[in-house]
Amino acid sequence: MTNPKFNRVLVAIGGGIAAYKICDLISKLFQTGVEVRVILTRSAQEFITPLTVATLSRHQAYTDDDFWQPTYSRPLHIELGEWADVIVIAPLTANTLAKLAYGMADNLLTNTVLASTCPVLLAPAMNTDMWEQLSVQRNWQQLSIDSRYHGMNTASGLLACDRVGAGRMAEPPEILAYIQSLLHTQGKRDLVGKRVLISAGGTREHLDPVRFIGNPSTGKMGLALSQAALHRGARVTLVHTPANWEAPLGVQAISVISADQMHHALLEYLANADIIVMSAAVADVKPRDYSTEKLSKRSLPQALPLEPVPDIIAQLAELKQSHQILIGFAAQTGNIVNSALEKLQNKKLDAIVANPIDRADSGFGSDRNQAIFLDNQGHQVEIALCSKLEMAHQLFDFVISEF
């Protein structure tokens, strides 16, 4: 998904048990075509070895021993700082956090950060009591006002110290997604101050507790949209149906099942939203009758009576204010543009994403997608097959440029 001009990532590993997880991150970065270089702090080497990360990155790993050796034509921290398009520090320890907050530079990692101008992604990991210390939180807030630094929220859960609480490092897939976002945006936070409301997944219209009318939507597109908006600085609310993924840390996630539940949730959050993206595959009809107990096979109706589901996006269009932008999705087969244009006009939308579900490796369930963006001013932009996160960023690029 990355621009070839911006695909160099410097991974700096701090000392902590979470360091072992970064091996998977390095491997995934390489597999996606990103050039990777790795710095290991002295304490990080107590958990993983330079040989391990060198093997995964296909490049020499750098340590403080390299920093103090006159074996490079230019100072190593200058070379690495100018080379990197994104620097990732994971796990970020309380010690390194304090050094960054006060501009200190006493090792290869901190010198490289000060010798660079690219975005820096921070993924802290520490014991709950350490993370919640006033001094640590003060340092964290100090970095948050610096536009270079992009901080990931810590998760709550069982820590290596057997404590259950905050301070757990974000998982590698979430760090990877944030890196990919930074490679696309080059660190721009062009949605700061905006509230983005997103719907995701396929609704389920139940006949009884175990049977429902549904569709193959997995919600992956909505997940990607929430990641992209969050990484660009927006406050994100994600209304989603049952999924096998978790909403990103920092996103307000509202779990629903049916179209009616999604309808109520979206109406609740509509007034405060600046951008509404309806990527969910919402049912058109539902069973007219619902049984609170499972129907036996012989009790199933030969013909299932159906009734229409309220048109959620049409109602949102009627209620939206002039400053709000409402974007729909049209999953289509065949000629996707004509159907999407009809929906755009009939529903009174500001823009629509027409994506084909009858082409290989795109649409429902896939990690990739392709589409044509259309707005109510007659503009069209075709998006070639790419990751869903890349498409999400291109959609927000389109929205920002057109509105």
| One-character DSSP codes across 236-283 | EEEEE-S-SS-PPTT-EEEE--SHHHHHHHHHHHHTT-SEEEE-SB--
Which residues does the annotation mark as catalytic?
A: 161
Sorted by where each begins, the domain ranges of the chain are 8-185, 195-402
Q: What's the pTM value of the predicted model, to 2 decimals?
A: 0.94
Distance in angstroms (rounded) separating the CA atoms of residues 152 and 171: 10
The second-level CATH assignment, the architecture, of 195-402 is 3-Layer(aba) Sandwich (3.40)
* Nearest Cα to Cα of residue 15 among 122, 95, 81: 95
Q: Position of tokens 């109602």? A: 315
Q: Are strands 164-168 and 368-375 parallel, antiparallel or unpaired?
A: unpaired
Distance in angstroms (rounded) separating the CA atoms of residues 395 and 181: 13
pLDDT at residue number 70: 72
| Element holding 363 (H helix, E strand) | none
Residue 2 φ/ψ, nearest 5 degrees: -90, 150
Same fold, 8-185 and 195-402: yes
Residues forming beta bridges with residue 157, ordered by sequence position: 165
- Chain-centroid distance of CA 342 in Å reads 30
Report residues of the chain scoring pLDDT below 50. 1-2
Distance in angstroms (rounded) separating the CA atoms of residues 169 and 381: 38
Instruction: Provide the token pair at 26.
Output: 């390095």
* CA count, 13 A, side-chain hemisphere, 271: 2
**Do 27 and 49 contact (CB within 8 A), yes or no?**
no
Distance in angstroms (rounded) separating the CA atoms of residues 262 and 270: 12
8-185 in CATH: which number?
Answer: 3.40.50.1950
Mean pLDDT score of the chain, rounded to an integer? 94
**Do 199 and 277 contact (CB within 8 A), yes or no?**
yes
Secondary structure of residue 360 in the 3-state scheme: coil
CA distances from 107 to 65, 75, 121 (A): 10, 13, 18
pLDDT at residue number 107: 96
